[in-house]
């Protein structure tokens, strides 16, 4: 049986008449990256703050590393790393000094702390910027510095809250690769994001929250199996008439038809020979297209279907 790093049982948190978290129960296993997802107001932040004992809650039990988590559980907290969405570094300290300072809060031995500092800076790809002040860094580099400060002491459990918000593609790729390395080095990670493609790349398991409750839980593939849509066919074409869209809707297993300026998207509830049938219909109506392709529903499709809301900052 896999070792449980986090155990949450019947967690409940109320704000007057609002129940932010409603008898929530879940576990996080050692060595996994758990994606904790949900629209704004779903209870994600309240759940994480309760787990970290940054917030008192009304009911429930929380254990970390098999021990009860409390505000004064300092030995447990030494084994946790937290990287919040808001960048929190010292403007008057260089990159190296910032990482070394945060590491020193947990590691008393100077030589070990310096070693860990160098390793954290290397992990996030800031080796060429060690002497830079934060104000000289781009947004993506600042995000990477923020992560280095949170994980320099080599925590066994890491919370990453929106670590790639508003960063360039190069920094995003660097951050994602670094997170994989953290997992490969033995860390357990709780990951929140509004970017579903990151979840599909990183997460071993996903929990989707809404109104303080779990609406779905499982692997990426198992969550996709929950969707009513089983196949999505996209046609790159222009000028699809309403009449032709109505004709497509009459085909077997068609759930919906959406037409944009340059694309036509047809969603199906089954995965039979839909592509061939649609191609035949296009040719029959002498409709030209640049490209046509079939794919499974994405995790974002599943999210929208389960919560009825779009992901947003």
> What does the pLDDT read at residue 310?
53
* Percent over 70 (pLDDT), the chain: 98
| pLDDT band of 164, cuts 50, 70, 90 | very high
Compare 20 and 229 and report the one with higher pLDDT: 20
How do residues 203-253 score in pLDDT, each as one tens digit? 999 999 999 999 999 999 999 888 888 899 999 998 789 999 999 999 999
> What does the pLDDT read at residue 313?
46
| pLDDT band of 309, cuts 50, 70, 90 | low
Fold of 231-296: Alpha-Beta Plaits (3.30.70)
For the structural domain made of 4-224, what CATH number should be given? 3.40.50.300
How do residues 42-83 score in pLDDT, each as one tens digit? 999 999 999 999 999 999 999 999 999 999 999 999 999 999
| Residue ranges per structural domain of the chain | 4-224, 231-296
Compare 226 and 136 and report the one with higher pLDDT: 136
**DSSP conformation letters of the chain:** -PPEEEEEEEEEEEETTEEEEEEEEEEEETT-EEEEE--TTSSHHHHHHHHTTSS--SEEEEEETTEE--TT-HHHHTTEEEE-SS----TTS-HHHHHHHHHHTT---HHHHHHHHHHHHHHTT-GGGTT--GGGS-HHHHHHHHHHHHHTT--SEEEEESTTTT--HHHHHHHHHHHHHHHHTT-EEEEE-S-HHHHHHH-SEEEEEETTEEEEEE-HHHHHTTSS--EEEEEE-S---HHHHHHHHTSTTEEEEEE-SSEEEEEESS-SSHHHHHHHHHHHTT---SEEEEEPPPHHHHHHHHHSS----
């Amino acid at each position: 049986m896999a070792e449980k790093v986090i155990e949450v049982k019947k967690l409940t948190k109320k704000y007057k008449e609002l129940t932010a978290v409603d008898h929530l129960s879940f576990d996080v296993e050692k060595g996994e990256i758990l994606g904790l997802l949900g629209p704004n107001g779903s209870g994600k932040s309240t759940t994480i703050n309760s787990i970290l004992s940054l917030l008192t809650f009304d009911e429930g039990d929380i254990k970390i590393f098999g021990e009860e988590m409390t505000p004064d559980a300092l030995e447990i907290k030494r084994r946790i790393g937290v990287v919040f969405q808001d960048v929190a570094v010292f403007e008057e300290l260089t990159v190296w000094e910032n990482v070394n300072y945060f590491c020193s809060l947990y590691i008393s031995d100077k030589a070990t702390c310096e070693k860990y500092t160098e390793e954290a800076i290397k992990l996030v790809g800031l080796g060429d910027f060690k002497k830079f002040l934060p104000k000289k860094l781009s947004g993506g580099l600042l995000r990477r510095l923020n992560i280095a400060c949170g994980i320099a002491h080599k925590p066994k459990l890491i919370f990453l809250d929106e670590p790639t918000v508003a960063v360039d593609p190069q920094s995003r790729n660097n951050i994602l690769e670094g997170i994989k390395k953290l997992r490969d080095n033995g860390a357990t990670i709780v990951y929140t994001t509004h970017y579903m493609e990151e979840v599909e790349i990183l997460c071993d398991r996903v929990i989707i929250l809404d109104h303080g409750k779990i609406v779905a839980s499982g692997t990426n593939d198992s969550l996709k199996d929950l969707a009513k849509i089983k196949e999505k066919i996209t046609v790159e074409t222009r000028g699809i008439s309403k009449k032709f869209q109505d004709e497509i809707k009459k085909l077997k297993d068609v759930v919906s038809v959406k037409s944009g300026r340059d694309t036509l998207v047809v969603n199906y509830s089954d995965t039979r020979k839909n592509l061939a049938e649609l191609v035949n219909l296009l040719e029959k109506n002498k409709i030209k297209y640049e490209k046509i392709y079939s794919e499974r529903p994405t995790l974002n499709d599943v999210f929208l279907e389960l919560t009825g809301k779009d992901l947003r900052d």
